[in-house]
C-alpha cells in the first residue's frame, strides 16, 4: 500500500531523512518492519509518528521524544503549509510526511513510511468556538479522523503499534460531578466536544475489539508560550504585553465567569508519553486539580505587569460568547499520579507569568526589529 499512496515525505525538508526521496523508499522500510515480532523494543531508536505536529502539543512532544532518543515523524497537511518551514527550522530532526486526517490512504502511507512504534494523534480542529461555525468539518477531522487513523493501523497490519488519542475535558461539558475523573459521564456542549467523545469511544472500541494498545489522555486545558493567539490564555497574555508597551488599548473577551483547570503543555506531553510506556493501555485524566475563572486569569496576567485594576482595559462582546458554554471544568488527576507517577510541575501563577514574559519579549522584539529582518 505504501507506494500507491500520497504520503511520501515532503521534498526539500530533511536532508538526512531516509524517507524523503521517493515513495519507493517507504516500500523498502515496510518490508523491514514486518520482520519484527510486535514492533516494540527491538529497535533503537524508537520511532514516533505525531499528527498535529505543528500545533502547541505537537511541538512540545516532538522536543520531548527527540530528547528521549526517538526518531520523530510528523504528519503535516498540504505541501505548501506555511507552518512546515518554521517547524523544521526549530525541529530540524523531524521527518515530515504529507497527509491529512481526512484522507485515509495518506494515513496508511504515513504509518508505513514512518514505521512508527508509537502514534500520537494530536491533529484536528482544536478551537471550540470554531466548531460551532464548522461543525461538519470538525466532526470529520477531530472525530472521524481518529477512526481513520485506527483503521490505518489495523489494515496496515500494525498490531504492535501503540496509539495515543488526544481526548479532551470538553467531553465532560455540562459536568455531572466535580472534580471530573475517568468515570465521570460525558455531556459535550459543542460540536468539538461531541467529535472528541466519538474519537474517545472509538479508541476504546479498537482496544476492546482488536486488542490494540490504544488509549486516551483526557487532557484539561494546557497552555504555554506556544499556545495559539485565539485561546483565552494567550489572547490575554499577549494583550497585556501589548497594552503595557502602548500597542493596544484593551482586550475584548466573552464570558468572564467560565472556570477552567489550566496546566502547562510541557508537563502534559510527558503524560502522553508515559501512557504509552505502561504494561496495559488505560485512559487517564490529566489535570492540575485546581480551578480558576477568566477573572483570576486577568488578575494573574495584568498582575504580572504590576497592574492590579484591569477593569478599564477589558471589554466584553457577545461575539466571543458561545451558543452553549462549558461553565466549569476541574480534573482529578489521582489515577495518573498513582499509575504513571505523573504530576504537574508548573503552577497557575507561574504559567501565566511565563506567558506574559514571553509575549513581552516577542512584542518588544517585533517593535525593535526592522521589517524584513
Ligand atoms: O476558552 C472563555 C470561553 O478557547 C476557555 C482547547 O484546547 O481546552 C481548550 O478549549 C474559556 C471558555 O479554551 C474568550 O468561553 C471568554 O469558557 O481558551 P479557550 P477551551 O474552549 O476551554 C480544551 C481542553 C480543548 O480540548 C480545546 O481543544 O474562556 N472565553 N472570552 C474566551 N475564550 C476565547 N477563546 N476567547 C475569548 O475572547
Count how many domains the chain has: 2
Query: With left for phi above 0 and alpha for psi between -120 and 50, is residue 61 left, alpha or beta?
Result: alpha
pLDDT in tens, the chain (373 residues): 222 223 333 333 332 233 332 232 232 223 233 334 344 555 679 999 999 999 999 999 999 999 999 999 999 998 789 999 999 999 999 999 999 999 999 999 999 999 999 999 999 999 999 999 999 999 999 999 999 999 999 999 987 899 999 999 999 999 999 999 999 999 999 999 999 999 999 999 999 999 999 999 999 999 999 999 999 999 999 999 999 999 999 999 999 999 999 999 999 999 999 999 999 999 999 999 999 999 999 999 999 999 999 999 999 999 999 999 999 999 999 999 999 999 999 999 999 999 999 999 999 999 887 655 4
Q: Clarify whether residues 254 and 152 are in a common domain.
A: no
Cis peptide before 96 (omega within 30 of 0): no
On whether the CB atoms of residues 17 and 136 are closer than 8 A, the answer is no
Query: What's the 224 CA to ligand 1 centre distance in angstroms?
Result: 14
- Give me Rg for the CA atoms of the chain: 21
Question: Number of C-alpha atoms within 13 angstroms, CB side, residue 95?
Answer: 24
Owning domain of residue 240: 232-261+292-329+348-368
Q: Clarify whether residues 104 and 119 are in a common domain.
A: yes
| Nearest Cα residue to atom 28 of ligand 1 | 126
Q: 122, 221, 287: which to mutate for ligand 1, most atoms within 8 A of CB?
A: 221
pLDDT of residue 2: 29
pLDDT of residue 159: 75
- 92: phi then psi, degrees, rounded to nearest 5: -65, -15
Q: Clarify whether residues 304 and 187 are in a common domain.
A: no
Q: Clarify whether residues 281 and 317 are in a common domain.
A: no
CA separation for the pair 341, 213 (Å, rounded): 20
Pocket of ligand 1 (CB under 6 A): 126, 128-129, 168-170, 220-221, 230-232, 235, 253-255, 258, 260, 294, 320, 322, 325-326
Query: What's the 302 CA to ligand 1 centre distance in angstroms?
Result: 19
β-bridge partners, 14: none
Query: What's the 231 CA to ligand 1 centre distance in angstroms?
Result: 6
Query: What's the 259 CA to ligand 1 centre distance in angstroms?
Result: 10
On whether the CB atoms of residues 257 and 327 are closer than 8 A, the answer is yes
Catalytic residue IDs: 168, 170, 192
3-state secondary structure at position 334: helix
Q: pTM (2 decimals)?
A: 0.90
Q: Clarify whether residues 209 and 246 are in a common domain.
A: no
Q: Clarify whether residues 102 and 182 are in a common domain.
A: yes
3-state secondary structure at position 215: strand
Ligand 1, atom nearest to 329 Cα = 22
CATH, residue 321: 3.90.25.10
pLDDT of residue 42: 56
Ligand 1, atom nearest to 190 Cα = 21
Q: Got the DSSP string for 28-94? A: HHHHHHTTSSSSSSSSSS-EEEEETTTSHHHHHHHHHHHHTT-EEEEEESSTT-TTHHHHHHH-TT-
Q: Does 338 reside within a domain?
A: no
Amino acid at each position: 500500500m505504501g507506494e500507491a499512496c500520497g504520503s511520501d515525505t515532503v521534498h526539500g525538508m530533511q536532508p538526512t531523512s531516509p524517507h524523503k526521496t521517493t515513495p519507493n523508499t517507504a516500500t523498502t522500510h515496510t518490508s523491514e518492519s514486518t520482520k519484527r515480532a510486535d514492533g516494540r523494543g527491538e529497535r533503537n531508536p524508537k520511532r514516533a509518528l505525531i499528527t498535529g505536529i505543528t500545533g502547541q502539543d505537537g511541538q512540545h512532544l516532538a522536543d520531548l521524544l527527540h530528547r528521549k532518543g526517538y526518531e520523530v515523524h510528523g504528519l503535516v497537511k498540504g505541501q505548501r503549509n506555511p507552518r512546515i518551514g518554521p517547524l523544521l527550522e526549530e525541529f530540524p530532526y523531524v521527518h515530515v510526511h504529507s497527509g491529512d486526517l481526512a484522507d485515509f490512504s495518506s494515513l496508511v502511507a504515513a504509518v508505513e513510511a514512518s514505521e512508527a512504534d508509537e502514534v500520537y494523534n494530536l491533529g484536528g480542529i482544536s478551537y471550540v468556538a470554531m466548531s460551532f461555525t464548522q461543525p461538519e468539518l470538525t466532526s470529520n477531522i477531530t472525530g472521524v479522523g481518529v477512526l481513520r487513523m485506527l483503521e490505518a493501523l489495523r489494515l496496515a497490519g500494525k498490531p504492535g503499534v501503540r496509539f495515543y488519542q488526544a481526548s479532551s475535558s470538553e467531553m465532560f461539558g455540562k459536568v455531572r460531578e466535580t472534580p471530573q475523573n475517568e468515570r465521570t459521564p460525558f455531556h459535550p456542549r459543542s460540536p468539538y466536544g461531541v467529535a472528541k467523545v466519538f474519537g474517545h469511544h472509538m479508541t476504546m472500541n479498537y482496544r476492546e475489539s482488536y486488542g490494540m494498545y490504544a488509549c486516551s489522555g483526557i487532557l484539561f486545558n494546557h497552555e504555554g508560550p506556544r499556545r495559539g493567539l485565539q485561546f483565552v490564555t494567550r489572547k490575554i497574555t499577549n494583550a497585556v504585553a501589548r497594552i503595557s508597551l502602548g500597542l493596544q488599548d484593551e482586550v475584548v473577551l466573552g464570558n468572564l465567569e467560565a472556570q477552567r483547570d489550566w496546566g502547562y503543555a510541557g508537563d502534559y506531553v510527558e503524560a502522553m508519553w508515559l501512557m504509552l510506556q505502561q504494561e496495559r493501555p488505560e485512559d487517564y485524566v490529566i489535570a492540575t486539580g485546581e480551578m480558576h475563572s477568566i477573572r483570576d486569569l486577568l488578575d494573574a496576567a495584568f498582575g504580572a505587569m504590576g497592574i492590579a485594576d484591569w477593569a478599564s482595559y477589558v471589554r466584553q462582546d457577545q461575539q466571543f460568547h458561545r451558543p452553549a458554554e462549558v461553565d466549569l471544568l476541574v480534573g482529578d488527576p489521582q489515577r495518573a499520579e498513582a499509575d504513571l507517577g505523573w504530576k504537574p510541575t508548573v503552577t497557575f501563577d507561574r504559567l501565566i507569568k511565563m506567558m506574559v514574559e514571553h509575549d513581552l519579549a516577542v512584542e518588544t522584539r517585533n517593535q525593535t526589529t526592522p521589517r524584513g529582518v
